[in-house]
Amino acid sequence: MTDVPKPRRPALRDSAALDAMAVGTDPVAQLHAAHETAAVLLGVGRAGTDPQVTRRLMAVVDEVGITTLADLWATRPARSLPGVLYRLYIMREWVLADLDAAAREYAAGVHYSEPNHAVAGADPTGPEEVRSVIDDILRGVFDGDFGIAMERAAAFTRVVSAGRDFLRTADEQASGRLMALADDLAASARLWRSGTLD
């Protein structure tokens, strides 16, 4: 008769170790979490007409922190719902972090990108107007036309990029990234309208 091995007792782990094992180990679960949270956030905003809800959704970064959003959405493609929402929140955070610089770059780019300035709608181009436009763009995600909000964000980004080039406040690589962001936002607007932004 062969020896039957005795069953091993389960190893006891503390809760932190269990949490570390559970979070971030399943790429499929991460993918689903990214897309589901983006869809829920957008759905909540677009389903109601309460301005308080819209304000809270706009300030979600203040409540959960940008790193939480980054953990959920940053790795998703730019032309996906979580990807584009992440980029819109990051754009707003960047503008609000230095309103004076954003307004200066925007104002400098107006003459070099007038059609985009007309779409973005920051007029006049001072810090408070730039803040108002960036808030209006994000508000439009939740209670306006999502496609138009993304087109306005793309236009805003193009004007800032032109301003940075004129003022030489960014290197070529940074300008290229800003223009890539604008292209992704505009493409996402087209995908949204065709019903294929997921």
d(CA 151, CA 102): 18
Percent of the chain as helix, strand, coil, to the nearest 5: 75, 0, 25
Residue 98 lies in a domain: yes
Per-residue pLDDT tens digits for 46-60: 887 788 888 888 888
63 domain-assigned: yes
Instruction: Give 126's Cβ-side CA count (13 Å radius).
Output: 2
Q: Is residue 142 part of a domain?
A: yes
Residue 86 binned pLDDT confidence (cut-offs 50, 70, 90) = very high
| pLDDT of 114 above 90 | yes
Please check whether residue 15 lies inside any domain of the structure: no
Separation between Cα atoms, residue 110 and residue 120, nearest integer Å: 10
| 131 and 97 Cβ atoms separated by less than 8 Å | no
Q: Is residue 180 part of a domain?
A: yes
Residue 64's pLDDT band, with cuts at 50, 70 and 90, is confident
Q: With beta carbons less than 8 A apart as the criterion, state whether 141 and 45 touch.
A: yes
pLDDT tens figures, 127-180:
999 999 999 999 999 989 999 999 999 999 999 999 999 999 888 898 899 999
Query: Degrees (nearest 5) of the Cα angle 146, 151, 154?
Result: 130
Q: How confident is the model at residue 183 (pLDDT cuts 50, 70, 90)?
A: very high
Mean pLDDT computed over every residue of the chain = 85
86 domain-assigned: yes
Q: Establish if 123 belongs to a structural domain.
A: yes
What is the domain range of residue 169? 27-194
Structure tokens at 91: 């754009």
Number of domains into which the chain is organized: 1
Percentage of residues in the chain having pLDDT higher than 70? 87
Question: Taking 70 as the threshold, does the pLDDT of residue 76 lie above it?
Answer: yes
Helix boundaries (H) for 48-170: 51-58, 60-64, 66-69, 81-97, 99-109, 114-120, 127-143, 146-167
- The pLDDT value recorded for residue 25 is 54
> In this structure, is residue 18 part of a structural domain?
no
Task: Give the amino acid at 134.
Answer: I
